[in-house]
A and B are shown apart, each in its own frame.
Chain A
Amino acid sequence: MEKRFVTIWFPHLKTDWISIRRPALARQPFVLTVSDHGKIIISEANIAAQKSGIEKGMALADGKALIPSLKYLNDKKNPSGKLLTSIATYCIRFSPVVAVNHPDVLILDATGCAHLWGGETSYLQMIINRFKKMGYEVKAAMADTIGAAWAVCHFEESKMIIPNNDQKNAILQLPVAALRINEEKVELLNKLGLRQINDIITMPRKALRRRFGEQLIERIDQALGVEEEFIQPVQITPDYEERLPCLEPIITLTGIEIALTRLLETICSRLKKEDKGLRSAMFTCYRVDDKIEKIEIGTNRASNNVDHLFKLFELKLQTIEPALGIELFTIEAFKVEELPAIQEKFWEDNIGINDIKFSELMDRIAGKIGEANIHRYLPDEHYWPERSIRLASSINEKNTLPWKTEKPRPIELLNTPEHIEVTAPVPDYPPMIFRYKNKIHKIKKADGPERIEQEWWIQEGEHRDYYSVEDEDGCRYWIFRLGHYTGDKRNQWFLHGFFA
């Protein structure tokens, strides 16, 4: 069978992508920028911007001179690569063999595909419409060769389908750039007055090869179909997803539990094989009436323990409404982390937070009383005592900062310092007595002051002079005076913590 290829060109790949995500931007001119030797250069402009004469390669400053309100976004290093690949994956529905041609072209081997959609014209139209609906502007063309399809798609406005064996006629009038050769070659050919493919195709091969190298000849031959061209199809990256279709719709809890167990078993055995564990997963039930029921769980540390995961789901299984029945169950692990299999040692138990049992317990408690009620604190880089600790985000978050130990800090720090009454006669000295909760404490020993200023970028106000004091009972307190010693005017004193 004759080969047929489709090329799809996305002239505004990145800007379209952004417009889709930020519809507010779509109608106004915006550009993407990169910085090049300290200059900010426009790397892509959307259609609205191009209409005002803004072009790729222009300095942002020039662009802003044209449109003072020009919006600009930082061009990420290489999202087009990922983006294009993901679009290619989507295209697998049109043809099993899809290849990316960076930066903005997809190549489909459409041999034998078009008839499924009612012929080549409607096939191409369907593809274009799909993308248009998504918000991508595309140009597509179909021909016997990739080269011809590429050329036509970039340089012909109206032609889309090149009949069998007509590729030569189709490309003769096109500029030499349509041959997919590098810019220097195009420039050289143009300088020589050779602007169209027509101008060179009839030249003696030898003369061409001497001057422009093998690549030009190869490109001509590939476009004409004299030489075959190979493409590298994209592969779908394996996701952590398992499916379980059911012959009969499931309506009982037991049925759902069985399905869940089966799915967990398959996914966990796969995770185990790869030394991985999941941190979050979604159990999805597709009902016969097209509705979808979902439950989601998360764990404190990666797990591939079927029992444990089942227990987590179990707490929520009640919420599933099977209605007329469920025909498909899937389980998807969104977040998967490395979980090397641990050598089991029967003479030693893991202790503390590294113990799996501990974190499994935590998961269960959290499932019951709510995660918000369990806290773990880590040190934070602030002098201001209230901010010197922070809540840990998870049980196994590593402590990157060592606890600061060179200065005395109370075991128990009050959330809000509590007002105390004192007698303090001398500046830079601790009070002699203070009254806290109606009890008088006579200070016997003290150390300080430690002066801590406000972190002015967060909050303004007076500094605190902290003292560690010990009363006659041998209890130690952390107290402070707000601001400088004022003598006659009474200073405000606070108690902020208890030492052991």
Chain B
Amino acid sequence: MNYTELQVTTNFSFLDGASHPEELVLQAALYDYSAVAITDKNSFAGIVRGHVAAKANGIRIIPACCLDLINGASLLAYPTSKKAYTKISALLTLGNLRAEKGKCNLYKEDVYNHSEGSKFIVVPPPSLNKSFAFEPSFEKQLNEYKSVFKNDLYIAASRRYNGDDHKYLFRLNQLSQALNIPLVATNDVHYHIPERRQLQDILTCVREKCTIQTAGFRLHPNAERHMKSSEEMLRLFTHYPDAINRTAEIAHACQFSLNELKYEYPEELTTEGRTPLEELTHLAWEGAIEIFGEDLPEQIITAINHELQFIEEMNYANYFLTVNDIVRFARKQNILCQGRGSAANSTVCFCLGITSVNPTKFDLLFERFISSARNEPPDIDVDFEHERREEVIQYVYEKYGRDRAAIVATVTQERQKGALRDVGKAMGLSVDTLSRLSSSVWDFNDELFKGSDLRKQGLNPDDKILKKVLKLTQELMGFPRQLGQHTGGFVITQGKLSDLCPVMNARMENRTCIEWNKDDIDALGFLKIDVLALGMLTCIRKAFDLAKKHYNLNLTLANIPQDDMAVYDMICRADTIGVFQIESRAQQSMLPRLQPRCFYDLVIEVAIVRPGPIQGDMVHPYLKRRNGERVEYPSKELEEILERTLGVPLFQEQAMKIAIVAAGFTPAEADELRRSMATFKVQGLVTHFEKKLIGGMVKNGYEEDYARRVFKQLEGFGSYGFPESHAASFALLVYVSSWIKCYYPDVFACAILNSMPMGFYQPAQIVIDAKKHDVELRPVDINYSLWDNLLEEKSNKYFALRLGFRQVKGLREEDIKILISARTSMFTSINELSDAGLSKATLEKLADADAFRSIGLDRRNALWEVSASADKAIGVFKGQKNAEENISLPEMSKSEHVVHDYTTTSLSLKAHPVSFIREKLEQLHIVATNQLQTIKEGALIKVAGLVLVRQRPGTAKGVCFITIEDETGVANLVVFAGLFDKYSKEILQSRLLMVEGKLQREGQVIHVIVHRCYNLSSLLKQLTSSKKEELPLLTLARADEKSTPVPSYPGFNKKANAESKTQIEIFHKGRNFK
């Protein structure tokens, strides 16, 4: 007699099941089950994982689900064939789409319409009523089900250890015989082992929003809902052997496997009756001729032929056509896009225009990206302008229809902090304890359980509750919590998508997604296309538009002149503020050392400053070898892999290849290794792979130290994997943005400002940088500015850049539209603006931004006028000036203006704030940042500036990098970990930071190694207040010159303080990056 468990709730029934599908399947395999069903609540979300795990363990799963109905008893549904599966999937889709995200509204009638080919088990009420019988309504329900499902209906019989199990089963059996609906034994499994009951109780608490102490009867009295062995089930159902036999009967009938799902690409993309391959071939050659001319280079012809042959072999033609279709739409709409990913950098893609990376620059073999052995679908991600990606997404939905296209789901998992919070809350820990706990818990490791970190936080690591919390947290980590939508991964099918998988609503309007995530669809061999958003593309497109308008250039990603030495010179100087990817502090300091001279150097540059290579200690060896150190390869076979990067693994592909070639991994294992790093570090897989990789490499004669570094690097790749193919696509954007910056800094600055927020820098730095490159900048003005920043006439070599209203904080685009449409001729008074319909608040903001200069008012006078604008002449007196005595306001100093510029636009064209206190700084022997160039290495210096960026990368062992800026430029500070702790207050609080330290020079890169820090922010206060006495006060007499009293102890005079306080806050706090 064979028992098959038919009622299994996994943790994809969120906050209900307490085991992963993998765990349940493994447990079933351990009990020698040949099959096990997975029946999540109104969902198929967990079945793929179960399927994959079952395959690996040599059993099979029965894809099924539990249908919780609004107007009937729950039904377990088991499709027996692909057709039946399709129907159930359509049923779930129906329920999903009529409910909000995360819910599924189903009625029994819906089930009747989709029941063909499926077996059903009805789940009876858990207990009998007072007269030891089932409610008559349930009997009625059964009758109705029976009349619809006929012989495909069963009743679930479960032993719950409720005390009256025998009575219950006896009654159930009576009912079953009376209605001729056979009994089936199930165990209503919620977890794979009884020990998981505790976690299940916690999940119940999270779901019911209560604590374990108050949960009461919402919990279950015992732990019987775990998976049990066949023998145990047989024993429990000794009196009802038929119920056991029937599980086998159902399992036997349900032979449908997810393997049968055949994914088919849409076919409507061909023209003139060609087959997909013919179409692709046609388009590829057509594109090739367009790019290279009739006289195709031999190399291209071979490459195209080779690739097409490969595509034919793998049957990927449709995939390429689909991508091509989307890209073509974007291009028609003038949306800039760029493909990346394993297949994107092929010659065919270049000919189709999917990528602009010229394959001849880049002699990579196609198969290096797509390995037929791995049988993994090609991977093409397409980046679009971030402001216009939605258009592309809606195009896809529209073209293929919502029933055929949907976004892939992402499974939001319980992360460390979230899991800790959930468990802690459910265990009734106080908010305070919880926050202390979560601040002391960085990583779940043995250290934690030893408890030294906990003790530091004043927690007792031997506390039983605390121990339990940590143990349960560890179990909960990695649990799926909800299904979200992937950033842009689309699945598009030939037939109905719901034939393959239930579709559901996403939280965002107009979006639908499927229940499976990218790993799931990978496992089933579905292809997905990533439609992603990239800010830099928006910026580049805006730059192209400006270049067209002002310089009459028709630029595209493909036609920017390549290999321009002037551009590389600029890059080598690290003059890269605003440039894609290589603008960060770390990148900037790498550039002069790496000295990129060709396209491939940029590819390396993009990939090298990443956690992977840094954690793997690969950066310095690479730089040394580049500067002439002899390259040695650990072995001949690795030379092939590592040749292009001088023997140092920098790319993800290389690390994986090493695992295959040097450590004897199969390609599939290597892939699993990469994935295990990316998803979760808890599951013990990492240690397994670590042993395997290092062991394997040592066995093959590599040094252990080297092996360890390779592994470390792989670990780093986990979260930020950076494959060569992606680096290549990014490098192109690096080059293009550098080229624009190099030749058209006006266009570049304008485009970046109009695409903000993006990148690493604030508008102030972009503006300063543009000035440095001889671009004239003009302030916001009501008579000249538009919403966007714009280029006016040529002032020198370049066009002058007029700041737009978008730079002014708090202005709304609609208000500016009103202003611009009213601007038929130059405005001459504020009343005209107010008559045009601009609100007082808007006018105040414009005044604050000092935008009335063209009508002869500075910000203060403008504000004086504006503040009276609500009270203006109307009716017949309209347009008349307000009769008012002339009142003279105190004049504003330049420094005060600068402060206010910073308040309203975060930048000032008038002067740099630090310039006003230079004199004071000089008295303190503080040097300007531009003087650092001339000071010799090792000198002790003092330098001060506004804090732009503070960075404490996880890879830098607690070292903090700070960039400060004064009126002459920027300085880079390095604060070592010990000092950071000592001066954290100064570092974190200062707007104006002064440091003492030693100058260090490495090539052209200058650092200040900080010894001491001081907070000089109070100097900024004086920009507005202390100068007051010296200012002419025209008409208002002042009795005496006593200034506002200065507080002598903290807390006193808070309100008087408040004013000067806010002035410090005007200056950007500086950005913190991890």
* A-to-B contact residues, CB < 8 Å: 11-12, 47, 50-53, 55-56, 62, 65-66, 74, 137, 139, 154-157, 172-175, 177-178, 186, 188, 190-196, 198-199, 202-204, 206-207, 210-212, 381-383, 404, 406-408, 427-428, 447-453, 456-457, 463, 465-466, 468
Assuming A199-B1036, A449-B163, is B1055 touching A177 (CB within 8 A)?
yes
A194 to B1038, alpha carbons, bound, how many Å?
12
- Chain B residues with a Cβ closer than 8 Å to the other chain, count: 71
A–B complex contacts, Cβ < 8 Å, 10 sampled: A50-B1050, A53-B989, A55-B1061, A66-B989, A154-B1055, A155-B1044, A155-B1053, A157-B1047, A191-B860, A447-B164
Does B890 touch A at the CB level, under 8 Å? Answer: yes
Task: With A66-B985, A191-B848, A456-B197 given, name 13 new contacts (CB 8 A).
Answer: A47-B1050, A50-B1050, A154-B1053, A173-B1042, A177-B1056, A191-B859, A193-B860, A407-B164, A427-B235, A451-B224, A453-B197, A453-B222, A463-B223
CA distance A107 to B1050 in the complex (A): 24
- B847 nearest CB neighbor, chain A only: A191
A381 to chain B: which residues have CB within 8 Å? 214-217
B1039 within 8 A of A: yes
Could you tell me the distance in whole angstroms from the C-beta of A360 to the nearest C-beta in chain B?
35
Contact between chains at A203 and B988 (CB < 8 Å): no
Known: A202-B1036, A457-B427. Is A192-B163 also a contact (CB below 8 A)? Answer: no
Q: Which residues of B contact A173 (CB under 8 A)?
A: 1039-1040, 1042, 1044
Residues of B within 8 A of A191 (CB): 848, 859-860, 863, 900
**Is the beta-carbon distance between B1050 and A210 smaller than 8 angstroms?**
no
B1055 and chain A: residue at smallest CB distance: A177
Interface residue B373 (Cβ < 8 Å from any Cβ of A): no
Return the CB mask of B205-219 against A: 1 if under 8 Å, else 0. Answer: 000000011111101
Cross-interface CB contact of B889 among A62, A175, A192, cutoff 8 Å: A192
Smallest distance from the beta carbon of B458 to chain A beta carbons, Å? 10
Q: Taking each of A212, A381, A468, which has the highest tally of chain B beta carbons within 10 Å of its own beta carbon?
A: A381
Stretch at the interface among B107-115, B261-269, B633-641, B864-872: B864-872
Measured in the bound complex, the distance between the Cα atoms of B223 and A383 in whole Å is 13
Compute how far the CA of A62 lies from the CA of B236 in the bound complex, rounded to whole angstroms: 60
Chain A residue nearest in CB terms to B218: A381
Chain B residues with Cβ below 8 Å from A202 are: 1036
In this assembly, does B691 line the interface, its C-beta being within 8 Å of a C-beta of chain A?
no
Is there a chain A Cβ closer than 8 Å to B1048's Cβ? Answer: yes
Say if the beta carbon of B984 comes within 8 Å of chain A: yes
Contact A452/B989 with A157-B1048, A447-B163 known, Cβ cut-off 8 Å: no
Residue B162 CB within 8 A of the other chain: yes
Q: Which residues of A contact B1044 (CB under 8 A)?
A: 155, 173-175, 195-196
Kindly state the separation between the CA atoms of A194 and B889 in the bound complex, as whole angstroms. Answer: 8
Assess the A192–B860 pair: CB atoms within 8 A: yes
In the complex, which of the residues A50, A156, A427, A453 has the most CB atoms of chain B within 10 Å of its own CB atom?
A453
A11 and B1052 in contact, given A210-B871, A451-B221, A453-B197 (Cβ under 8 angstroms): yes
B294 at the interface (CB under 8 A from A): no
Contacts A156-B1045, A383-B221, A451-B161 given: A65-B1055 contact, CB under 8 Å?
no
Inside 8 A of A427's CB, which chain B residues have their CB?
235
Contacts of B235 in A (CB 8 A): 427-428
Known: A47-B1051, A65-B985, A463-B222. A190 touches B1059 (CB 8 A): yes
B224 / chain A contacts, CB cutoff of 8 Å: 451
**B:211-244 near A, CB below 8 Å:** 212-217, 219, 221-224, 235-236
Q: Kindly provide the distance from the CB of B89 to the nearest chain A CB, expressed in whole angstroms.
A: 38
Residue in contact with B1055 in the complex, picked from A52, A155, A172, A408, CB distance below 8 Å: A155
Instruction: Write the chain B residue with the least CB distance to A211.
Output: B867
Does B198 belong to the interface (CB within 8 Å)? yes
B976-994 residues at the A interface, CB under 8 angstroms? 984-985, 988-989
Tell me whether B876 is interfacial, beta carbon within 8 Å. Answer: no
Collect the chain A residues with CB atoms within 8 Å of residue B988's CB. 62, 65-66
Closest to B215 in A: A381
Within 8 Å CB of B868, what residues of A?
207, 210-211
State whether B1048 touches A203 (Cβ < 8 A). Answer: no
For the complex, what is the distance from the CA of A11 to the CA of B871, rounded to whole Å? 39
Instruction: Select one of B214, B223, B871, B1039 contacting A198, CB under 8 A.
Output: B1039
A140 CB, nearest partner CB in chain B, Å: 13
Assuming the A-B contacts A190-B1059, A381-B216, are A450 and B884 also in contact, with contact meaning beta carbons closer than 8 angstroms in the complex? no
Question: Considering the chains assembled together, what is the distance between the CA atoms of A448 and B1038 in angstroms?
Answer: 96
Of chain A, the residue at the smallest CB distance from B865 is: A211
Question: A190–B235 Cα gap in the complex (Å)?
Answer: 86
Asked if A457 and B213 make an inter-chain contact with CB atoms under 8 angstroms apart, the answer reads yes
Asked if residues B1059 and A453 are in contact (CB atoms below 8 Å), the reply is no
Please judge, given known A-B contacts A381-B217, A456-B198, whether A450 and B1050 are in contact too, CB under 8 Å.
Answer: no
Contacts of B507 in A (CB 8 A): none
Nearest-Cβ distance from residue B122 to partner chain A, whole angstroms: 22
Residue in A closest to B859 when the chains form the complex, CB atoms: A191
Measured CA separation A236–B624 after assembly (Å): 83
Most chain A CB within 10 A, of B224, B887, B1042, B1045, is at B1045
- Quick check: is B94 within 8 A (CB to CB) of the other chain? no
Whether the pair A193, B1039 counts as a contact (CB closer than 8 A) is no
Query: For residue A186, which residues in chain B have a CB less than 8 angstroms away from its CB?
Result: 1059
* Nearest opposing residue in chain A for B1049, CB measure: A47
| B468 close to A (CB within 8 Å) | yes
User: With a CB–CB cut-off of 8 A, which chain A residues contact B212?
Assistant: 457
Report how far A406 CA is from B164 CA in the complex, Å: 10
Are A382 and B889 in touch, CB under 8 angstroms? no
Interface string of B1034-1071 (1 = CB under 8 A from A): 00101110101101111111111011010000000000
Tell me the bound Cα distance from A18 to B832 in angstroms.
Answer: 57
- Closest residue of chain A to B213 (Cβ to Cβ) is A457
CB distance from A32 to the nearest CB of B (A): 13
Closest Cβ of chain B: how far from A275's Cβ, in Å? 34
Query: Does B631 lie at the interface of the complex (its beta carbon under 8 Å from any beta carbon of A)?
Result: no
Most buried by A among B216, B867, B988: B867
Q: Smallest CB-CB separation from B1037: which chain A residue?
A: A202
CB pair B1059–A51 under 8 Å, yes or no, is no
Q: Which residue of B lies closest to A404 (CB)?
A: B217
Chain B residues with CB under 8 Å of A65's CB are 984-985, 988
Query: Residue B885 at the A interface, CB < 8 A?
Result: yes
The verdict on B758 contacting chain A, using a C-beta distance below 8 Å, is no
Question: Does B558 touch A at the CB level, under 8 Å?
Answer: no
Q: For the complex, give the distance between the alpha carbons of A431 and B621 in Å.
A: 77
Are A450's CB and B860's CB within 8 A? no
Q: Does B468 contact A457, Cβ atoms closer than 8 Å?
A: yes
How near does chain B come to A195, taking the closest CB pair, in angstroms?
A: 8
Interface residues of B in 823-878 (CB under 8 A from A): 844, 848, 859-860, 863-864, 867-868, 870-871
Q: How far is the CA of A7 from the CA of B313 in the complex (A)?
A: 90
Q: CB-CB < 8 A to A199: which residues of B?
A: 890, 1036
| CB atoms of B127 and A198 under 8 A apart | no
A62 CA to B1069 CA, complexed, in Å: 12
With a CB–CB cut-off of 8 A, which chain A residues contact B885?
204, 207
- Residue of chain B at shortest CB distance from A64: B439
Closest A residue by C-beta to B166 = A447
Task: List chain B residues, Cβ under 8 A from A468.
Answer: 163
A209 to chain B, nearest CB (A): 9
Across the interface, B1052 reaches (CB within 8 A) one of A139, A193, A448, namely A139
Is B175 part of the binding interface, using a Cβ–Cβ cutoff of 8 Å? no
B contact residues around A211 at 8 Å (CB) = 864, 867-868
Is the CB of B892 closer than 8 A to any CB of chain A?
A: yes
| Inter-subunit contact B163/A450 (CB<8 Å) | yes
Question: How far is B166's CA from A428's CA once the two chains are assembled, in angstroms?
Answer: 11
A-side contacts of B1061, CB under 8 Å: 55
Using Cβ atoms and an 8 Å threshold, which residues of chain A touch B1042? 173
- B213 to chain A: which residues have CB within 8 Å? 457
Name the CB-closest residue of B to A467: B163
Q: Is the CB of A212 within 8 A of B1053?
A: no
Instruction: Give Cα A235–Cα B298 distance, bound, in whole angstroms.
Output: 99
Option from A172, A188, A450 in Cβ contact (under 8 Å) with B162: A450
A313-B1058 Cα distance, complex, nearest whole Å: 59
